[in-house]
Chains A and B, each alone.
Chain A
Amino acid sequence: MPVAGSAIIAGIGQTEFSKDSGRSELQLAAEAARAAIADAGMTPADIDGMVTFTLDTNDELLMMRSLGIPEVRYWSRTPHGGAGAHSTILHAALAVAGGAANAVLVWRAFNERSGRRFGQPNAQTTPPGWNWYLPFGLDTPAKMYSLGFQRYMYKYGLTNADFGLYPVVARRNAATNPNAWFYNRPITLEDHQESRWIVEPILRLLDCCQESDGGVALVVTRADRAQDLPQRGVTIAAASDAHLVGGNVMFNYYHGDLGEFPETKALAGHLYEQAGITPADVDAAMIYENFTPVVFLQLEALGFCGPGEARDFIAEGNIDLDGSLPVNPHGGLLGEAYIHGMNNILEGVRQIRGTAANQIADAEHVMVAGGRSGLILRPA
């Protein structure tokens, strides 16, 4: 059975997004899950599948106890952090489409600001892969990714001020989203250029995603149950991973042209084919952005503009709320919160339902992409 069209997102839930939640990661996960199950019009007894990240600290059996879920028939986890964010929905969709489960709970919850901060330098190497980088000073994600971004800048003659075009849009969107940490706090390009260097000459502070505490959850079930649900069902019109030999999530330095994002290009092909649409049919895009340059690389790889054209595409207003392709209307991981990319999927669902803070009119196809995994959502 093809995954495309055979599963829906029936419910979404979240905690508040903060810098210090004051409670355990398990409690955040359980609270988000409770909200998502209720949003789907279900009870915990309806849940019989579970998917989260390999990096998530919350144990499935403790989640079952916390929520009172009597039995689970399917569970799985997706690797590589935010690169696998959308894979969770693929796993859940396959499970319900294949009959392994009726309703799958997907979650991600962490205290990523008050607890373990991903942006801080590693203290020691962990073989096998890290000996090639940490001893040379590539000790934070910002530096690791920037070594690739610099080649993109060189290839197209871009400066950090060009990258600043995106954060201005993201923060403008967050400023009118009450769910966003940076609600009511827009920035200008001058603010961006005055923020301190994180990795010279690539990234300034305002190019970096937030560090956030919080939890989000979704419930995925079969498409034929859409009529029984209280909320407008959101069909998973396409879901795919895309990983290429020689690739590397943090250190993707070994493929031919570092001015391109070949995994995203492959992903785009899978998604458009499954959904039977072209880039021109996409009404809004949620694009994973740990750092601003990945928005540029993905806009090009997803086919929304040509190679090297992302700077002008953004400058001309195409990704604004009233543009041809609104991007991250909620403010994204820079403006709303960094829940490892999963909050972008919730925004995709809200855009299809018509309940977003910054609602795009008549959103029929919403792309939710994160480099190596992605979705296309449409109304059920």
Chain B
Amino acid sequence: MPRVIPPTPDTDDRYFWDGVAEHRLLLQQCASCATLRHPPVPMCGVCLSTDWTTQAAAGTGTVHSWVVSVHPAAPTEPGRIVALVELTEGLRFVANLVDVEIADVRNEMSVELCFREVDDVLLPQFRPTDLAGGA
């Protein structure tokens, strides 16, 4: 069983996965009032505009919360660390932590964006900032 369930982009989130293909983490931004939003919705809940653009995230943030995901069909395989990352832009984004042992994960630790192929699926991932320059 593959570890990664591939995304199936649709009208409202295709921009994001197109950005991933270019190694960019794109945040939806209202073209009228500049509010950033994630997960995306087609209308701005602040000003009701349907015009939007994207802004590439700086790629820095902190670990707000985290868990270890072990697939029940493969209980002995090492789990993937899933983190809720608080981006510098103030939005939260779910991704995986890489280049860190489970025992070393801490809430509030600084992380930075990287892109990795996992089971042939290119995904945005985060690694400890201290390891900058690694992959």
For A131, A154, A245, the residue with the greatest tally of chain B CB atoms inside 10 Å of its CB is A131
Task: Let me know if A359 is at the binding interface, CB within 8 A.
Answer: no
The answer to whether A127 and B13 have CB atoms under 8 Å apart is yes
Kindly state the interface size class of chain A when it binds its partner.
35 or more
A131 to chain B, nearest CB (A): 4
Count residues of chain B with CB under 8 A from any CB of chain A.
Answer: 37
C-alpha spacing A131/B121, complex, angstroms: 13
The tally of CB-CB contacts under 8 A between chains A and B is 107
Partner pick for A120 among B72, B96, B121, CB 8 A cutoff: B72
C-alpha spacing A124/B95, complex, angstroms: 17
Asked, given contacts A143-B69, A151-B107, A201-B68, whether A137 binds B96 with beta carbons under 8 Å apart, the answer is: yes
The answer to whether B45 and A139 have CB atoms under 8 Å apart is no
Query: What 0/1 pattern do residues 99 to 125 of B give for CB contact below 8 A with A?
Result: 000100001000000000000010100
B43 to chain A, nearest CB (A): 13
The answer to whether B8 and A202 have CB atoms under 8 Å apart is no
Task: Let me know if B5 is at the binding interface, CB within 8 A.
Answer: yes
C-alpha spacing A78/B87, complex, angstroms: 34
Contacts of A148 in B (CB 8 A): 65
Q: Which residue of the partner chain B has the closest CB to A146?
A: B67
Contacts of B5 in A (CB 8 A): 122-125, 134-135, 139
The answer to whether A128 and B82 have CB atoms under 8 Å apart is no
Query: What 0/1 pattern do residues 71 to 104 of B give for CB contact below 8 A with A?
Result: 1110000011010100000001111100000100
Q: Which residue of the partner chain B has the closest CB to A203?
A: B67
Task: Let me know if A253 is at the binding interface, CB within 8 A.
Answer: yes
C-alpha spacing A147/B94, complex, angstroms: 9
The answer to whether A151 and B65 have CB atoms under 8 Å apart is yes
Contacts of B72 in A (CB 8 A): 120-121, 140
Asked, given contacts A135-B4, A135-B7, whether A258 binds B67 with beta carbons under 8 Å apart, the answer is: no
B65 to chain A, nearest CB (A): 4
Contacts of B69 in A (CB 8 A): 136-139, 143, 199
The answer to whether A135 and B65 have CB atoms under 8 Å apart is no
Task: Let me know if A150 is at the binding interface, CB within 8 A.
Answer: yes
A107 to chain B, nearest CB (A): 30
The answer to whether B92 and A132 have CB atoms under 8 Å apart is no
Contacts of B96 in A (CB 8 A): 136-137
Task: Let me know if B10 is at the binding interface, CB within 8 A.
Answer: yes
Contacts of A197 in B (CB 8 A): 70
Task: Let me know if A133 is at the binding interface, CB within 8 A.
Answer: yes
The answer to whether A127 and B45 have CB atoms under 8 Å apart is no
Contacts of A133 in B (CB 8 A): 94
C-alpha spacing A148/B67, complex, angstroms: 9
B90 to chain A, nearest CB (A): 11
The answer to whether A127 and B67 have CB atoms under 8 Å apart is no
Partner pick for B39 among A129, A143, A146, A202, CB 8 A cutoff: A129
C-alpha spacing A127/B95, complex, angstroms: 18
The answer to whether B8 and A127 have CB atoms under 8 Å apart is yes
Contacts of A254 in B (CB 8 A): 92
The answer to whether A136 and B94 have CB atoms under 8 Å apart is yes
B86 to chain A, nearest CB (A): 10
A261 to chain B, nearest CB (A): 15
Task: Let me know if A71 is at the binding interface, CB within 8 A.
Answer: no
Contacts of A137 in B (CB 8 A): 3-4, 69, 71, 79-80, 82, 96
A144 to chain B, nearest CB (A): 9
The answer to whether B64 and A199 have CB atoms under 8 Å apart is no
Contacts of A122 in B (CB 8 A): 5
A-B pairs with beta carbons under 8 Å apart, 23 shown = A120-B72, A121-B73, A127-B9, A131-B8, A131-B16, A134-B5, A136-B80, A137-B4, A137-B79, A137-B80, A139-B69, A143-B69, A143-B82, A151-B64, A154-B107, A199-B68, A200-B67, A200-B68, A200-B70, A245-B45, A253-B94, A258-B64, A258-B65
- Given A200-B79, A253-B65, 16 new contacts (CB under 8 A): A125-B6, A125-B7, A127-B12, A131-B17, A132-B93, A132-B94, A135-B7, A136-B95, A137-B96, A138-B94, A146-B67, A150-B67, A199-B67, A199-B68, A199-B69, A258-B65
Q: Which A residues are within 8 Å of any B CB, using their own CB?
A: 120-129, 131-140, 143, 146-148, 150-151, 154, 197, 199-202, 245, 251, 253-254, 258
